[in-house]
Amino acid sequence: MIMRLSFATLASLALATTACAREAETAETGSEGAAAVAVSQEASAAPVFDFPEDAWRDLDPENTLYIETNHGLVVVELAPEFAPAHVERMKTLARDQFYDFLVWHRVIDGFMAQAGGTRSNPSHRTDLPSLQAEFTVQRGPELAISELMPRQVSPTLPQIGQAGFWNSFPAGTQPIAQAMITATGQVQSWLLHCQGAAAMARTSDPNSAGSQFYITRGDAEHLNATYTVWGRVRYGQEAINAIEEGTLFETEGFTPDVIRSMRVEADIAEDERTNIQVVDSTHPAFNAYLDSLRDASGALPDVCEIDIPSRIQD
């Protein structure tokens, strides 16, 4: 069951959150030589870790979006386990070609790129009904999230949870051990607003999301568990980071970049797809990779600083 976070302070804090709500919805190495092209590690300073071939997994074409930008292709993996209604909405709108030629109307350096407006109307949105918030998911052990480090939910939600990875997505969670003392036998978990998170814009009303979305260009911890994360960039973060910065009708001389198209990968001919693979965070090699990142005291970097390698597989 999907529900909003039940911390006592959430309702008032969600309404007080101002990021992404300024408008009306305006609101990452393979060992096969040339056959495997590293994506995320090649673009970063992180040391190359030699993952075995069976540590790489393919993306599900039905749950993968291709977003064509002025700066190149962005491939986003969807997370229906966490936000089924939002994922379905994004796929529906992509298949309706709703986003084609809409603009990135609000883009802030180090924060996010918001899209779905038009050059004449930044508040543009779909006529479909607003979505109920899917900020968190209630889960049992069957939806496994690694618990790698204690972590505050957000700067405005001071409760301490655990952070780790689910299906190669950075995630936060109440410790699964707490399931034994909850009425439902479950705990609440959420996907994190690390760089590359794809999420839904909304107003101060938690249930007002419709079609406008954003992709983070840095960590946006203050949005954790109060905005719905429905996916993560697996390829093309550099294109997101290159989108023209500014806010339509507020930034002098701002000419917004365009979404050239958005498509579900399953609807694209196989010979025209970009075959992205990502390292499986449940594979034993991922634990060895994490160990290679530990400092002298054995501590890991923050979960948002841990790169999840991805590659193009020819």
pLDDT at 48: 80
pLDDT mean over 45-69: 91
**For residue 47, is it within any domain?**
no
Cα separations (Å) of 45 from 41, 73, 94, 299, 305?
A: 7, 22, 34, 19, 12
Return the structure tokens found at 221: 């911890």
pLDDT class of 3 with cuts at 50, 70, 90: very low
Predicted local distance difference test score (pLDDT) of residue 47:
60
Q: Which two tokens stand for residue 245?
A: 């910065």
**Per-residue pLDDT for 2 more than 80?**
no
- Rounded Cα distance between 162 and 153, Å, is 8
Residue 29 has pLDDT above 60, yes or no: no
Rounded CA-CA distance 163/268 in Å is 35
Average pLDDT of span 70-88:
98
In a domain, 219, yes or no: yes
> In the structure encoding, which two tokens stand for residue 185, read together?
């036998």
In-domain check, residue 187? yes
How many domains does the chain fold into? 1
- CATH at 194: 2.40.100.10
Q: Does residue 14 register a pLDDT over 60?
A: no
Let me know if residue 276 belongs to a domain: no
Percent of the chain with pLDDT over 90: 82
pLDDT of residue 139: 96
Structural domain for 218, as ranges = 2-27+59-266
Residue 192 lies in a domain: yes
The pLDDT of 131-151, averaged and rounded, is 97
Question: Can you tell me the mean pLDDT for 134-155?
Answer: 96
Q: Is residue 275 part of a domain?
A: no
Per-residue model confidence as pLDDT tens digits over 97-135? 999 999 999 999 999 999 999 999 999 999 999 999 999
The predicted model gives 194-218 an average pLDDT of 98
Q: Which pLDDT belongs to residue 44?
A: 43
Cα dihedral 145→151→155→158 (10° resolution): 100
